[in-house]
Amino acid sequence: MILNAVGSRIWELVDGRRSLRAIVGQIQTEFDAELDVLERDALTFTEELVERRLLTVNS
C-alpha cells in the first residue's frame, strides 16, 4: 500500500478518539477537495486498513 498525502494525513489523525466524519472534516480544511470525494476515499482507505488488520473499528 502506498499512501498519498491524504492517506498519510488520515493515518496521522486516526487516534481512537475522532470519528471518521471528524477526520474527513479536518482533512477538508487542509486539502482542496470536495467533501463527497473525501468521504468516499476515506471510507475506502479505512476499509483497506481494517482488512489488513492495521486498524480496528469500534461501533
In a domain, 57, yes or no: no
Looking at the 3D structure of the chain, how many domains does it have? 1
Is 13 among the domain residues? yes
Q: The domain containing residue 16 runs over which residues?
A: 5-51
- Is pLDDT larger for residue 20 or for residue 3? 20
And the C-alpha cell for 39?
Answer: 468521504
Identify whether 26 is part of a domain. yes
Confidence (pLDDT) at 9: 93
CA–CA gap between residue 48 and residue 51 (Å, rounded): 5
In the predicted structure, residue 57 carries a pLDDT above the cut 70: yes
User: Is residue 58 domain-resident?
Assistant: no
Asked whether the predicted pLDDT for residue 1 surpasses 70, the reply is: no
Model confidence over 14-43: pLDDT tens digits? 988 999 999 999 999 998 889 999 999 999
pTM: predicted TM-score of the whole model, two decimal places: 0.82
In this structure, is residue 28 part of a structural domain?
yes
Q: Residue 40 domain-assigned?
A: yes
56 in a domain, yes or no?
A: no
**Taking the mean position of all CA atoms in its chain, how far away is CA 42?**
4
